[in-house]
Amino acid sequence: MKNKLRYILQRKNMMVGGIIVFIMISMAIFAPLIAPFDPVKDANLMNAELAPGTTYLLGTDSHGRDVLSRLIYGARISLSVGLVTQFLNTCIGVSLGLLAGFMGNRWDDIIMGMTNIMLSIPAMIFALAIMASLGPGLINIYIALGFTNWSYSCRITRSQVLSAKSADYVKAARILGYSKLRIMFGQILPNIVGPILVIATLGAAEAILMEASLSFLGLGAQPPSPSWGGMLSSARDLFFSAPWICIFPGIAIFITVLGLNLFGDGLRDYLDPHATWKSN
């Protein structure tokens, strides 16, 4: 246990990433307690485009709303999209990967064919096509991003299952008469969860970027809902007159994605079977 804790403390990327993710999640959860103003109702055109100061720490937007408050509430949308959509993608990818790797034969051919097709289409293009048919809105973003990026989880899961299904504990489960479903989800899955967690962490960062991109194009959360991508979109014409309106949402997106990537990178090193602390 001491070796594990010492290793985690030595991994600066994991520590910094974990702290950033913790701060962002806490900010989203406690937004009503942290935000100094209501992000939607407290609009006053008399205070429009005020520079950062003592009253409005990060300034105001073109409608006189506090930028800081909108950033804090915007974390709820960005993080929820990242976590929920990646959870859906992970569930789909892991289930298909388990089926393809364990069953093999025709199941493997069909699922890997579907995976290769998904990999050949950029996720953003696929998401734009879905949004074009469903229309803009936050719920539609969950649908568009939650079913378009499962291919990586599927391939990773399949490769792990192929190496794990010949292990002794799987052979023992077969001898004991366990069903295929029980072996896949009860025996194999708990032993390959490490790489899946890493892919899920990195995928959440990608989902946040895609949500910001779709919101920037006007396909995400609709005004006046506070969305980081939507804030960037509404401020793109004010970059020279009121740059703080678009700079701070961009920084929030950058820091959140950086934190998730750092944490995922550190988690990958921590779960590596050849990690230093495991040999001590």
165-202 tens-digit pLDDT: 888 888 888 888 888 888 888 888 888 888 888 888 88
Q: Is the pLDDT of residue 276 over 60?
A: no
Q: Is the pLDDT of residue 86 over 60?
A: yes
Domain contains 191: yes
Domain contains 125: yes
Q: Is the pLDDT of residue 3 over 70?
A: no
Integer Cα distance of 228 and 248 in angstroms? 9
Give the predicted TM-score (pTM) of the model. Answer: 0.84
Give the domain extent around 211: 2-23+63-279
Predicted pLDDT of residue 277: 47
Domain contains 158: yes
Whether 59 and 245 have beta carbons less than 8 Å apart is answered as yes
Domain contains 167: yes
Q: Is the pLDDT of residue 216 over 50?
A: yes
Domain contains 269: yes
Predicted pLDDT of residue 176: 85
Domain contains 54: no
Domain contains 35: no
Domain contains 30: no
- CA 106 to centroid of chain Cα atoms: 32
* Nearby residues of 39 by Cβ (< 8 Å), 6 or more positions away: 65, 66, 69, 70, 72, 73, 74, 224, 226
Q: Which of 152-156, 231-235, 244-248 has the lowest mean pLDDT?
A: 231-235
Q: What total number of domains does the chain contain?
A: 1
Predicted pLDDT of residue 227: 86
Instruction: Tell me which of 25 and 137 has the higher pLDDT.
Output: 25
CATH label of the domain that carries residue 273: 1.10.3720.10
25-84 tens-digit pLDDT: 999 999 999 999 998 888 888 888 888 988 889 999 888 899 999 999 999 988 898 889
